[in-house]
Structure formats: C-alpha cells, structure tokens
Amino acid sequence: MVELPRTYAADGSALVRPAPSSSVVARPWRFAPRAAPTLISSLRTLLVKSHQEQFGAGEEPVIGFQLTHSGRFCKPVARDRPAPRVAYRHPLLDRRFGVHSDQQVLNDGEVEQLVEQYIRAARIAWNAGADFVDIKHCHGYLLHEFLSAFRRPGKYGGSFENRTRILREIVAGIRADSNSIDLAVRLSAFDTVPFKPDPSLSKPGRPGPGIPEEYEQYLPYDFGFGLNRNNPLEPDFTEPGLLIRLCVDLGIKIVNLRAGSPQRWVSAARGPADWRRSSNAGCASA
C-alpha cells in the first residue's frame, strides 16, 4: 500500500484518487473508514510528501478518495468468500455471482443506513485533508447497479428520480453535515448484456473472445443503464445525459466517464486479445 502513493507522486499527477479505495462497507483487501481514519490521513500525507520530493515544494496535488460499495462483488470476510448484496434480482448475473435469494437484495431500510455510511465516510475524508470524494457509480458496483433498478419496488427503483435517489441523498447529507468537500462521480455511461467466452474459440486454459449471453427472452431488457431496451447491445444516452445534468445541478465538479464492467461486460474499446487476458474472459471495461 505504501508504494501506491509514491507511484502516483512520481508520475506528476496533479489530480489523484488513490487506490486502494476508501470503501464504506465492503472491504476485502481495501480499507474502510471504520477501520482506518488515521491510515487515510497518513496516506494523504505520504502522497504529498512524495510529490514534493519528486517535483519540489509547489502546488500540492488535488487528492480524493473513492466511496464505494462492492454490491455483487462483496467479499467482506475474505477474498475467496463472496457475500453479494444487490439492488435487484438479475436474470443473467445472479447465477454468475452467487445470488440465490431475495434476502440478498438490500431493502430500503438498509439502503438508508448505507447512505448514512457514505456521509460519515465523506466526513472522515474531509477531516483527513482530502480535497474531494468520488461517489462511485461504475463497473457494476452497487450504486451503478441502482441506476438500472427499473423493476425494483419502493423509493429506490422504477423511475429515473427513484433510481438516482441514493446519489441525491448522499450529496444532501454531506452538505447537511457542514462538509464542504468537493464531489466527483465516476460513471459507467452505458451498459450492455453480460458476455461470456465464445465456446467455439475457447481452448483449455485459454477462453475465447466474448460473445453476448442469450438475452432475447428478457426483452424489453430492463437490466442495464444507458442501453436500448429493445436492443441492449446498443447504447442509449438519454438517461446518462440526464444523470450528468443532475450531477451539475448537485454541484458535483468532476464526472469521469467509463463504459461497461470488468466483471461482466465486453469492452467498448478493447479487442479479443484483451478479453482473453482478462481473468473473467470476455468481460472487460473501457
């Protein structure tokens, strides 16, 4: 972990969101606010020191921490013990990530508690001297998944207003906490259907390039964000545009756009060789 800030400092980065992330709930090998406020502060101090050693005492880098919940990818106890929590039941992804029960779907009360944890995490980041926090909405993690919770009942699913309610509540809570830290959102602007290795081109120990899973029986496809419901292999930027506008209205200063998910979807920018190199062959992200 110590080498990470030194690496960021050495390349001259002025805007830095260090990894590992500041994770608010799930923390397999990452650290969480409840575990390490002092560690977060020390990480920032080390990064600034390393930057100054490399480039001299000038302007300090702008440093932020990512706030995230791993959702389907949760491994809170050990890396080999998945414990997924999800926004809704997904007809294609549930079996891939071990979601077998409605009990694994977060209820509205649990989501409200989660919002409070994000607010507390932002306070810890601010007290540690961070310049911003990134409220992560990408790569299939929980808040990204809520953006496609079309069929979820209650106040966090269905309409665009409901599916973005978590973001609005987090931002409002941070400001109500008299926390003036700057805000960012890393957003997967569009999804597609999950991909799998092409069995006709796969070899032992060498999965083939990605092909879409069979999705036709689920049309109209309500299980992704920023896609054409009638042809989910095509993006539809209507709602991503609305979400970016919402970020502007909420005073969010940075929106970093991504596409797809390294855990489930084909890349928008990579070819078959990259898919084969992926540990989840056929699934990569832009």
Per residue in 49-73, pLDDT (tens digit) is: 887 888 777 777 888 889 999 999 9
Q: Which helix (H) or strand (E) holds 249?
A: helix 238-249
Q: Which of 170, 188, 187 is nearest to 179 (CA)?
A: 170
Mean pLDDT taken over the chain: 83
169 against 12, higher pLDDT: 169
Of residues 284 and 164, the one with the higher pLDDT is 164
Q: d(Cα 282, Cα 117) in Å, to the nearest integer?
A: 34
> What's the average model confidence in pLDDT over 198-222?
92
Q: Output the CATH code of domain 3-277.
A: 3.20.20.70
Residue 41: what pLDDT? 79
pTM of the model: 0.84
Beta strands in 189-249 (DSSP E): 195-197, 210-212, 227-228, 231-235
pLDDT at 56: 78
Paired sense of beta strands 62-68 and 22-23, if any: parallel
- Reply yes or no on whether the pLDDT at 119 is more than 80: yes
Closest CA to 173 of 119, 126, 248, 249: 119
The first and second tokens of residue 152, run together, are 């979820």
